[in-house]
Amino acid sequence: MPAVSEHAGHPDAIAQDMRAAVRLEKWNIFWTITYVGALGAAMGSSQAMKTAWVEDILGLIPPLAFLIGERFERRGADGRYHYGYDRVNGLGFLVAAVALAAVGVFLLKDAVTALMAQEHVTIGTVRVWGRDVWLGWFMIAAQAYACIPPFIIGRKELKLAKSLRDKLLHTDALMNKANWQTGIAGILGILGIGFGFWWADAVAAAIISASIIWDGWNAMKVAAGELIDGMPRELGDEKLSQEADALAKSLHQQFPEAKAILLRETGRFIRAEVVGARPGDFNRDKLKIDGCDDWRIDSISFRP
């Protein structure tokens, strides 16, 4: 019978938080669709509005990737995938990061082109109940609405991402933060046009695009590190995980003769390998490490 990982599906310690994250991401998708529709209807010729609209559409990628990855994770290990499907989450993280950075570059190009061409964007009026109303007010209203759901959902995602050690969920939280900040920048750009500053719209779009590229680039570095068996990293950072450091120190203390303690991150879990030492009477179930939750340690193996 083929050997499989001791981990199968979601550990009981995080099952409740996983269910909460799934519900939150479903609501995230619903609200994103509503304000993407609102922005699309009010977009007009504004470059900042176009940039915000495209970014909000991109905002659908992380929650969709999370929901797909979560379904695969629940399958656990099988005869074809002895270590389960934990890395599906990391794969979704990489896909979201690449898409984010690539579209950010595209949108920045559009904004810079508009500035170089000195395009003077105009916002017209529409007849409402016998009165001419500036379309900019509708754009501002749509942007203001688009700021509210990302602000609320993003704060909830950050809390869950920390408890689940979920980089994809954390990236989604950062994207939601970027979305409501984008909305504010878009509002300022529209007001700038209203006051006669033709460049305000394109400058706002360029600032938004630069923020998208920066977030995408940082996310790509962390995602690539995980997929090539890099040391576990902190959420949203390239710094080494404090939990991984605590695990390595504990194993070094228990096996001082070991030549090396090798750690790698697989999704939200950590796998350790002790090189040059024998397990002896080592009992994995009795391993308790300050600063590292037990559920994160998926397996500990020994290499002579």
160 with 289, same domain: the answer is: no
Token pair for 185: 């920048």
Residue 84 has pLDDT above 60, yes or no: yes
221 with 246, same domain: the answer is: no
Distance of alpha carbon 55 from alpha carbon 187, whole angstroms: 15
Q: Is residue 34 part of a domain?
A: yes
Write the pLDDT tens digit of every residue in 266-295: 888 888 999 998 888 777 766 778 778 888
Q: Which pLDDT belongs to residue 30?
A: 95
Domain tally, the chain: 2
Which of 227, 255, 276 lies at the terminal end of a domain, its last residue? 227
Averaged over 32-54, what is the pLDDT? 77
90 with 145, same domain: the answer is: yes
Write the pLDDT tens digit of every residue in 16-30: 999 999 999 999 999
* Residue 59, domain CATH: 1.20.1510.10
Q: Is residue 119 part of a domain?
A: yes
Q: Which pLDDT belongs to residue 206?
A: 81
Percent of the chain residues past pLDDT 90, beyond the cut: 15
93 with 160, same domain: the answer is: yes
Q: Is residue 45 part of a domain?
A: yes
Least confident of 38-47, 56-65, 215-224: 38-47
Residue 7 has pLDDT above 60, yes or no: no
Q: Is residue 188 part of a domain?
A: yes
Least confident of 54-63, 159-168, 252-261: 54-63
Distance of alpha carbon 87 from alpha carbon 265, whole angstroms: 9
Q: Is residue 3 part of a domain?
A: no
Q: Which pLDDT belongs to residue 3?
A: 40
Averaged over 72-92, what is the pLDDT? 80
Q: Which pLDDT belongs to residue 22?
A: 94
For residue 136, give the 3-state DSSP assignment. helix
Q: Is residue 7 part of a domain?
A: no
Average pLDDT, the chain: 81
Distance of alpha carbon 112 from alpha carbon 169, whole angstroms: 31
163 with 51, same domain: the answer is: yes
Residue 49 has pLDDT above 80, yes or no: no
219 with 78, same domain: the answer is: yes
CA-nearest of 169, 180, 168, 264 to 220 is 168
CA-nearest of 215, 237, 242, 216 to 226 is 237
67 with 36, same domain: the answer is: yes
Q: Which pLDDT belongs to residue 203?
A: 80
Q: Which pLDDT belongs to residue 1?
A: 34
Which of 176, 200, 227 lies at the terminal end of a domain, its last residue? 227
92 with 33, same domain: the answer is: yes
159 with 288, same domain: the answer is: no
Write the pLDDT tens digit of every residue in 220-264: 887 887 778 778 888 777 778 888 888 988 888 888 888 999 998
Specify which residues 275 forms β-bridges with: 260, 303
Domain that holds residue 41: 12-227
- Better pLDDT: 96 or 63: 63
176 with 282, same domain: the answer is: no
Q: Which pLDDT belongs to residue 151?
A: 93
Which of 203, 227, 251 lies at the terminal end of a domain, its last residue? 227
Distance of alpha carbon 109 from alpha carbon 285, whole angstroms: 55
Q: Is residue 206 part of a domain?
A: yes
Q: Is residue 190 part of a domain?
A: yes
274 with 208, same domain: the answer is: no
Write the pLDDT tens digit of every residue in 171-214: 888 888 877 877 787 788 778 777 777 777 678 778 877 877 88
Q: Which pLDDT belongs to residue 46?
A: 65
254 with 105, same domain: the answer is: no
